[in-house]
Each structure stands twice: as structure tokens, then as C-alpha cells.
Amino acid sequence: MNENASRPPCALIVMGVSGSGKSTIAAKLAARLDWTFEDGDRFHPASNVAKMRAGHPLTDEDRWPWLQAIADEIDRVCRAGARVVIACSALKRAYRNLLVHGRNDVRIVFLNGTQALIADRLARRKGHFMPPGLLDSQFKTLESPEPDESPITVSIDASVEAIVEDIVRHLGAESPGRNRT
């Protein structure tokens, strides 16, 4: 077994491009496992929120304090003996390196799907405006997790319930008896 997968996780990071289903899947997964759910967007400093509201894209310099705040939250939760599922796009390897920061009890869950499927879901999503070209740029930025990150990769071409069960099955196969509810 991969060393990185050897400890039962206290934090799962549900990652993927915009519209891949992070918020939906992470919330349902947290409920299924009886863990806490967090949306990574909540950890943006006020300066980033103001920038995004003004329609300006964030730079990596803007992102480091945000990602550090999520990493700090992971440390806090794990130290307290609690468990959390966090929705966070984490498109680049460098972002994930900061989020995981060498912990072997933080696992990446990658929501994998085609651009066509996600574009279709975004077109139907209510209450969200999606600037044209954003999905294109998300796919250009995406650095899919590599084997040494020990990702749990799931296909999003399934129902929400089936995707959640797929993730639970992966977790249960790695830590028998630990993740069953």
C-alpha cells in the first residue's frame, strides 16, 4: 500500500474545475460520513473577496494566504480529533502541496469529467453566472493529480449518490472498518 494512504484521513479535499460538483459532492459526502463540510471559498481574505466582486481575476500571490488559511483549518480540525470534507478547486499541484503540506492524513478526491459534461451542467445551474471562457481557462489551468499524490479519482458521469458511494468505497477499502457508518 502507498505510504501516503496508510493513515486514516482526517481531511478530504474535494477538487476539480468549476462545475465539476465540488460543493454538491463534498456536502453529501460529509453528511454520509458524519464529518463536517466546509466550502474553501469561505477562507478567502476580505481583499480577495473585494477583488473577485470587482470582476478581477485572482493571482497566485492572492491565493497563497487563502490556501494557507485552509491548511491552518485542516491542522486545527485534525488536532482536535475531528474530520472535515473541504470543497476546493485546487487546480494546480502547488496549491495542493500547500493544502496537504506533507500530511499523510489529508486525501485528495478528484472529480474527473469531460468539459462537455461540465459545460452542460453549468448551463443548467441556477443562480450562478458563468462568464464565457471561464471553463476553458479552468481546464487549461488544471493539473490533474499525479500518482504520488495518492488521489481518489472518481468519474462525475454518475448520480450524486453513486459518486458519494464510490468515494466511500475507496476510503473503506483502504481503512477497513474506519469509514463505515
Ligand X SMILES: Nc1ncnc2c1ncn2[C@@H]1O[C@H](COP(=O)(O)OP(=O)(O)OP(=O)(O)O)[C@@H](O)[C@H]1O
The answer to whether residue 48 forms part of the interface with ligand X (CB under 6 A) is no
Instruction: Identify the CA nearest to 135 among candidates 157, 120, 148, 124.
Output: 120
Q: What whole-number distance in Å separates Cα of residue 102 and Cα of residue 63? A: 19
The answer to whether residue 21 forms part of the interface with ligand X (CB under 6 A) is yes
In angstroms, what is the minimal distance from the CB of 134 to Mg ion? 13
* Of 84, 108, 156, 171, the one binding ligand X by CB under 6 A: 156
Instruction: Identify the CA nearest to 16 among candidates 159, 174, 161, 152.
Output: 152
Instruction: Pick the piece of the chain touching ligand X (CB under 6 A) from 1-9, 12-20, 62-70, 74-82.
Output: 12-20
The answer to whether residue 160 forms part of the interface with ligand X (CB under 6 A) is yes
In residues, how long is the chain? 181
Q: What whole-number distance in Å separates Cα of residue 66 and Cα of residue 71? A: 9
Other beta carbons within 10 angstroms of residue 175's beta carbon come to 14
The answer to whether residue 107 forms part of the interface with ligand X (CB under 6 A) is no
The answer to whether residue 169 forms part of the interface with ligand X (CB under 6 A) is no
The answer to whether residue 160 forms part of the interface with Mg ion (CB under 5 A) is no
In angstroms, what is the minimal distance from the CB of 76 to ligand X? 23
* Of 23, 68, 97, 175, the one binding Mg ion by CB under 5 A: 23
Count of positions on this chain that bind ligand X (CB under 6 A):
16
* Of 7, 23, 101, 139, the one binding ligand X by CB under 6 A: 23
Instruction: Identify the CA nearest to 85 among candidates 93, 73, 94, 98.
Output: 73
Instruction: Identify the CA nearest to 19 among candidates 121, 155, 92, 108.
Output: 121
Q: Where are the alpha helices (DSSP H) in the chain?
A: 22-33, 46-53, 60-79, 93-100, 115-124, 134-141, 160-174
For Mg ion, give the closer residue by CB, 22 or 107: 22
The answer to whether residue 153 forms part of the interface with Mg ion (CB under 5 A) is no
Rule CB under 6 A: which residues touch ligand X? Answer: 16, 18-24, 87, 89, 121, 125, 156, 159-160, 163
